[in-house]
Amino acid sequence: MPKIRIGVLRGGPSNEHEVSLETGKQIIEHLPESKYQPLDIFISKEEKWFYQNKELEPVQILTLVDAVFNGLHGYFGEDGKVQKILESHQKPYTGSRVISSMAAMDKSFSRELFKKAGLKVAPGFAVKKGDDPKEILRRAVLEVGPPWIIKPAESGSSIGIGVARNPYEFVLALDSCLKDWDKIIIEKYIKGREATVAVLENFRKNSYYPLPIIEIIPANSSTKIFDYQSKYDSKTREICPGRFGDKIKGRAFESAVKAHQALGLRHYSRIDMIITPQDEIYVLEANSLPGLTKESLFPKAALSVGLEFPQLLDHLVRLAMK
Active site amino acids: 16, 157, 296
Q: Are 184 and 131 in contact (CB under 8 A)?
A: no
Kindly report the number of other CB atoms within 10 A of residue 76's CB atom.
21
Q: Are 251 and 281 in contact (CB under 8 A)?
A: yes
Evaluated on CA atoms 19, 21, 26, 27, the torsion sign reads positive
206 annotated as a binding-site residue: no
* Contact residues for 142 (Cβ-Cβ < 8 A; gap 6+): none
* Contact residues for 87 (Cβ-Cβ < 8 A; gap 6+): 97, 98
Longest dimension (CA), the chain: 66
Q: Is residue 80 exposed (0-12), middle (13-18) or buried (19+ Cβ within 10 Å)? A: buried
233 annotated as a binding-site residue: no
d(CA 257, CA 269) in angstroms, rounded, equals: 9
175 annotated as a binding-site residue: no
Q: In 3D, which of 183, 125, 126 has the Cα closest to residue 154?
A: 183
For the annotated binding site, the residues are 272, 285, 287
Binding site feature residues for Mg(2+): 272, 285, 287
